Amino acid sequence: MTDTRPGQITKVVIVGGGTAGWMAAAALSRLVAGGVSVTLVESEEIGTVGVGEATIPSLLDYNRMLGIDEDAFVRATGATFKLGIEFRDWRRLGEAYLHPFGTHGRDIDGVSFHQLWLRQAASGTPDPGPIGDYCLSSVAARRGRFTRPSANPQSVLSTLSYAFHFDAALYARFLRDMAEQDGVVRVEGRVVAVDRDAETGFIEAVRLEGDRRIEGELFVDCSGFRSLLLGETLDVSFTSWKQWLPCDRAWAVPSARQGPLTPYTRATADTAGWRWRIPLQHRVGNGYVYSSAHIDDDDAKQALLAGLDGAAQGEPRQLRFEAGRRERLWDRNCVAIGLSGGFLEPLESTSIHLIQSGITRLMSLFPDRGFGSAERDEYNRVMLREYEQVRDFIILHYHATERSDSPFWDHCRTMTVPESLLAKLGLWSGRARVFREQGELFTPDSWVAVLLGQGVRPDSFDPLTAGLPPSETARFMAHIRDMIDKTAAAMPMHEDFIAQHCAA
């Protein structure tokens, strides 16, 4: 075994083998070479939450960090490529828009592209068309096309950005194989008790059925909604965000593949929540996320089944949850990653990103056995803020609606939103300003796509646009639109790309 430094942590225990547990294990397995033992405990009898199929582009960084071959990963997980999310019926019934990955147009002389677009839209001559026409990911998604981006920054193809839809259980299996090969030890069994130091309250060991005891120095709680270590054992309280995000249940069911393989997730607003549609290579994942205060379970199930575009594969499964997060995500010698730390509904496919973010931040702030407060406080500060930033972006979709066709939408439209979101909306409503806080996940392009898609129009636009002659700007915009149109037209169809490179 390799020598370890004095004070270095030598035993890491991960409790839980869902997406969070195996993502953490695969990343922390690199510690094994440095003499650290990494043990993962999971219980097949308890099982995993078993949903979570849509991702955002940051997952590419995580996969790259682990040296994962992308074609092998796509094949192993039945994945498809995702260029964005289509939102149907969110602003009004019958209307749709796309929140694409990637950028809109190009900024000129420090003026954001959306400011130029707003000025052009205000003048109306010529009509600039939808802002999505200036984003390659958006245009390609609408046409069902996909290719990988170009590394050449001069090429329009370099502006394309993508993520995946995949089978989460197969992804966990893929990561498990990698982690075990790298020396992570998997222990099957149910944790029935937790031993703590009487003085400090630090966790010393977890006890499993059959009188087994696993000692550790650092514990990573990936036990799912139960939050076995952070919540139940260390008693870190849960802050609910139900007042802004009232959806608390979901029905989920896969269906047979039907029609072309769309390279985007679809989120359709319904009477008391929204339905997801996530196309994989071998099936389509579907679900209805709803507020139990506004619709009963049976009606929600029927609405889900009625909206499927292929035959249901089995009976729908119900999941229960509450939006919110733990007051701290790192307490004493325990870090909660995944559902044990908090939950935000999958409207913008952010849960797996938050898992990844928790893992990479833990790795960069990895503690010593002394567990000084500096690392823990910094971790909590940035992670808690990240949860809030994502929360605000999700609330925006519900609040910025014109729908008044059900009590649920009346509630969302008229509710008071968090101060931090009000501040963002205030900046936008004047001169269409969008600022990205440090460490914020969603870019100004994402905010612009959703704000405009939901019909939130600013009063005006940036006065700096006055320095750019309108006729020149119009020519520049027409050129970009034309290039994007031609580039998208030359891309392969999504399913042809998969068949050629990475079919399961």
Sites for ligand FAD among residues 40-99 (CB under 6 A): 41-43, 46-49, 51-55
17 binds ligand FAD per the rule CB under 6 A:
yes
Q: How many CB atoms lie within 10 A of CB 4?
A: 12
Kindly state whether residue 279 participates in binding ligand FAD, applying the rule CB under 6 A.
Answer: no
**Residues 429, 426: Cα–Cα separation, whole Å:** 5
Region from 39-47, 65-73, 236-244, 438-446 binding ligand FAD, contact rule CB under 6 A: 39-47
Is 11 an annotated catalytic residue? no
Q: Are 231 and 194 in contact (CB under 8 A)?
A: no
| Amino acid (1-letter code) at residue 189 | G
Window 349 to 368, contacts with ligand FAD (CB under 6 A): 349, 351-352, 355
Residues 6+ apart with CB under 8 A from 196: 202, 203, 204, 233
Under the criterion CB under 6 A, does residue 231 sit at the interface with ligand FAD?
Answer: no
Q: Which is nearer to ligand FAD, 192 or 423 (CB)?
A: 192
Residue 179 or 191 having the CB closest to ligand FAD: 191
Rg, the chain, Cα only = 24
Binding track over 187-206 against ligand FAD, x by CB under 6 A: ---xx---------------
Min dist. Cβ of residue 52 to ligand FAD (A)? 3
233 forms part of the interface with ligand FAD (CB under 6 A): no
Pick the piece of the chain touching ligand FAD (CB under 6 A) from 35-43, 74-82, 104-112, 429-437: 35-43
Residues 132-191 that bind ligand FAD (CB under 6 A): 168, 190-191
Q: In b/e form, how buried is each residue of 48-66, taking b as 16+ CB within 10 angstroms?
A: bbebbbbbbbbbbebbeeb
d(CA 251, CA 238): 24
Residue in 30, 196, 226, 431 binding ligand FAD, rule: CB under 6 A = 226
For residues 206 and 488, which CB has a smaller minimum distance to ligand FAD in the complex?
Answer: 206
Q: Quick one: 113 or 290, whose CB is closer to ligand FAD? A: 290
Query: Minimum Å distance from CB 190 to ligand FAD?
Result: 4
Q: What angle do CA 329, 198, 24 make, to 5 degrees?
A: 30
The contacts of residue 442 (CB under 8 Å, 6+ apart) are 348, 389, 390, 393, 436
Tell me how far apart the alpha carbons of residues 394 and 345 are, in angstroms, rounded to a whole number. Answer: 8
Which one of residues 105, 231, 287, 453 is an interface residue with ligand FAD (CB under 6 A)? 287
| Pair of tokens at residue 351 | 């849960």
Compute, in degrees rounded to 10, the torsion defined by CA atoms 429, 433, 439, 441: 70
- Interface positions with ligand FAD (CB under 6 A): 15-21, 41-43, 46-49, 51-55, 168, 190-191, 222-224, 226, 228, 250, 252, 287, 319, 321, 338-340, 346, 349, 351-352, 355
Q: Which active-site residues does the annotation give?
A: 82
